[in-house]
Structure 1
Amino acid sequence: MSDDKESKTEAASEKKISDAVAQGNTPFSREAPVFASIMGLLVFLVFVVRDQGAAFVRRLTLLLEQPRNFSVETSPDAKRLVHALALEMGRFLLPVLVILLVAGIAASIFQNAPRIVFDRIQPQWSRISPASGWKRIFSTQGFVEFGKSLFKFLAIGGMSFMVLRADRYEIVDAMFVDPIGLPEFLLTLSVRLISAVSVATIALVAGDLVWSRLRWQRDLRMSRQELKDEFKQLEGDPLVKARLRSLAQDRLRKQMMAAVPRATMILANPTHYAIALRYDQSESDAPVVLAKGADLIALRIREIAERNRIEVVVDKALTRAMYDHVEINQAIPAEFYRAVANLLVYVMTRKRR
């Protein structure tokens, strides 16, 4: 396994990254939603509790100070009382639930676009296997999670200790002051504690975001053989492509050789290059290239031409110049009209004689 990991030295390809994202394998920091929830709780305490908290306390005061006004002699009376208390508690806690939910979803969307992947929710034995769980605990990721938990414990505990230690005299005095001011004091103390906790976790969240992305990229790394195999899948096997290209060239070569007997003349140089030209005013206004080739193919073209009594004209300069500028089954370029026309006149004159 270690050798397999060491061989994966190449960065993941675009295809592997897109496949991983499609399967739900994306970099995700678990600390980011926790931090977002802490910030949402802080927003709730600062902007919601001050307004709704006072009204909530007044309603509860009626129950605590005047319990005789609520009749609980029968079971329906008790149900109505419980229903009323639950309604007041729900009205007070609903904003914090909404804020925490929105904060957690926003933190997740900030890291990755939401997508539905059914493969991620299918049951897998490795998730409940004791052996797999034991390996995860003592893996690199397990040690990292332990380090993050230890850091959170020390940082949050230290910041909370500092805040409580600074307000220790006010906390003691709160037991002897008017209870009316106690909710405001508790709210202020809670805001300070949560603010300190959020400051302590900022560095942890930033580090975890970077670590989760680096670990994700490391897990997706590929070996050179995997890159070659993927390239073969995308572009096709080079051996197969070479074989297909060879078959196509053979087919084209056979078609050329079959068309050589229809040529009017053959331009040669004298053995390295050969071009088969056909000129018929009823078919085309300019000579058309039926075949061309070099070395062995050129010799083969000349052999077929001699067998079919087709005139072979040796012109080294013209043949070499035309070879790179003409295409099979196409008319010759205009710059060669005059030179080829003179040769055609020469060939046709010889045929008449």
Structure 2
Amino acid sequence: MSNGGDKEGKTEEATEKKIRDAIEKGSVPFSKELSAFAALVGFVIVTSFFIVGSTIALVSSLKGFIDDPGRWPLENTADAVQLFRAINLDAAQFLLPAVIVLAIAGLASSLFQNPPQIVFDRIQPQLSRLSLSAGWRRIFGLQGWVEFLKGSFKLSALAVLAYLLARAARFDVFNSMFMAPNALPELMRTMANRLFLAVLVAIVLLVVADLVWSRFFWRRELRMTRQEIKDEQKQAEGDPIIKGRLRSLARDRARKRMIGRVPQATVVIANPTHYAIALRYVRTENRAPIVVAKGLDFIALNIRSVAEKHGIPVVEDKLLARSLYDKVEVDQVIPPEFYRAVANVILYIMSRGRPLQGIAPNR
């Protein structure tokens, strides 16, 4: 069947097991737009609260290198290493706040979408990822078109906002030619913050839509065919054929145990061919007769055959046999409404001089 047919056949929502297995394998819904949004928020925080202080500290440090170069001689390798170490330390102090804020923003966007987990299968190399056909479908498929539309929207929004902000700040840009050089960085920072804040506001709707779409597309990819659901149920509950066979074997064993108890019966009450109820009554064991075996049709004939073989009296009473079969289960004492009818059967057998197991004859 073609891939298109497979997609069309997957009309059923994924089961809880399918979703759980997908999450365990690292296949979770993820919005790239939320990550980009978090990165922009982090950048705005850095430029608004940290960039000024970090820039002043870096400029002050670099100014020392320029004003007093004799303090850093370069006569050997050790001097060069010491100079580069000092420069790298200043650069690290300048970049550290930005790195920390952006890392926190990235982690927050990931934790907001899914709980953290370690899945080694996602980082193992797979040759299937190098498939040209799969890559072609990924680029020109539904998801590829969605990514193209999102990129177009972001590019258009950025271009429009940049134009509007540049137009609104054209007088500030013109006046910057007459500003002191040390005032230009602050002007550039202010304009950049305005641009990024406007972009953040513009793409909020895109981020929300992408969050919804990523989860919808994820569940769409996890859809199953009816046959897959049936196969999963078979795996969870067992193959119905095997389960039926096991039930049949269990019934056979229970039937054999029941037939094996017929020789312990006191009397068998039967419909001529359809029903047979084997009762055991021993005064020292139970307060009333107990059903040790019962059966219908073939089993009823088997019960009668075993009873006759072991000399157990068989009394034919159609109404009583049918009623006992419907109302009393094996190993249960007969209800009080059957006491008189069963007592009459026992008295009938004893009146004919047949001894009954557990019942002393009348003297």
TM-score normalised according to structure 2 size? 0.86
Matched, 1:34 2:36: yes
* Residue equivalent to 2:328: 326
* Residue equivalent to 1:295: 297
CA separation of 1:161 and 1:72: change in aligned 2, threshold 3 A: farther
Tell me the SS of whatever aligns to 1:293.
strand
Counterpart of 1:228, as a letter, is K
CA separation of 1:165 and 1:78: change in aligned 2, threshold 3 A: farther
Q: Compare 131-140 and 117-126 and name the one that shifted more.
A: 131-140
Tell me the SS of whatever aligns to 1:267.
strand
Aligned residues of 1:160 and 1:196 also touching (Cα < 8 A) = no
Counterpart of 2:75, as a letter, is T
1:201 to 203, 207, 219: 203
Within 1, Cα distance between the matches of 2:264 and 2:150?
83
Note the C-alpha offset of 1:144. Answer: 2.0
* Residue equivalent to 2:358: none
Tell me the SS of whatever aligns to 2:177.
coil
CA separation of 1:110 and 1:336: change in aligned 2, threshold 3 A: farther
Q: Compare 299-308 and 103-112 and name the one that shifted more.
A: 299-308
Q: Compare 267-276 and 170-179 and name the one that shifted more.
A: 267-276
- Report percent identity of matched pairs: 51
Aligned residues of 2:275 and 2:300 also touching (Cα < 8 A) = yes
* Residue equivalent to 1:142: 144
Within 2, Cα distance between the matches of 1:337 and 1:44?
93
Gaps of 5+ in 1: none
Aligned residues of 2:278 and 2:294 also touching (Cα < 8 A) = yes
Within 2, Cα distance between the matches of 1:255 and 1:15?
40
Q: Any residues of structure 2 matched to 1:42-53 within 5 Å, and which? A: 42-53=44-55
Q: Any residues of structure 2 matched to 1:96-107 within 5 Å, and which? A: 96-107=98-109
* Residue equivalent to 2:160: 158
* Residue equivalent to 1:74: 75
CA separation of 1:324 and 1:52: change in aligned 2, threshold 3 A: farther
Note the C-alpha offset of 1:198. Answer: 1.4
CA separation of 1:346 and 1:45: change in aligned 2, threshold 3 A: farther
Tell me the SS of whatever aligns to 1:175.
helix
CA separation of 1:271 and 1:241: change in aligned 2, threshold 3 A: same
Q: Deviations over 1:218-242 (max 9, x none)?
A: 1111111111111111111111211
* Residue equivalent to 1:232: 234
Within 1, Cα distance between the matches of 2:53 and 2:288?
94
1:88 to 84, 90, 95: 90
Q: Deviations over 1:40-93 (max 9, x none)?
A: 1112222223444444444444455x3556544535555444333322221121
2:194 to 177, 192, 195: 192
Within 1, Cα distance between the matches of 2:260 and 2:224?
50
Aligned residues of 1:289 and 1:327 also touching (Cα < 8 A) = yes
Note the C-alpha offset of 1:315. Answer: 4.4
Within 1, Cα distance between the matches of 2:154 and 2:254?
73
* Residue equivalent to 2:114: 112
Within 2, Cα distance between the matches of 1:62 and 1:78?
16
* Residue equivalent to 1:246: 248
Within 1, Cα distance between the matches of 2:281 and 2:143?
78
* Residue equivalent to 1:168: 170
Paired residues, number: 352
* Aligned CA-pair RMSD: 2.6
Aligned residues of 1:160 and 1:197 also touching (Cα < 8 A) = no
Q: Compare 233-242 and 276-285 and name the one that shifted more.
A: 276-285
Q: Deviations over 1:248-303 (max 9, x none)?
A: 22222222223223211122345443211112234444423211122333343234
Within 1, Cα distance between the matches of 2:27 and 2:340?
68
Counterpart of 2:177, as a letter, is M
* Residue equivalent to 1:265: 267
Q: Deviations over 1:165-213 (max 9, x none)?
A: 2112112212311233333322222211111121222222222222221
Note the C-alpha offset of 1:33. Answer: 1.3
Note the C-alpha offset of 1:16. Answer: 1.2
Aligned residues of 2:33 and 2:206 also touching (Cα < 8 A) = yes
CA separation of 1:316 and 1:297: change in aligned 2, threshold 3 A: same
Within 2, Cα distance between the matches of 1:129 and 1:296?
65
Within 2, Cα distance between the matches of 1:51 and 1:340?
104
Aligned residues of 1:305 and 1:311 also touching (Cα < 8 A) = yes
Q: Compare 8-17 and 52-61 and name the one that shifted more.
A: 52-61
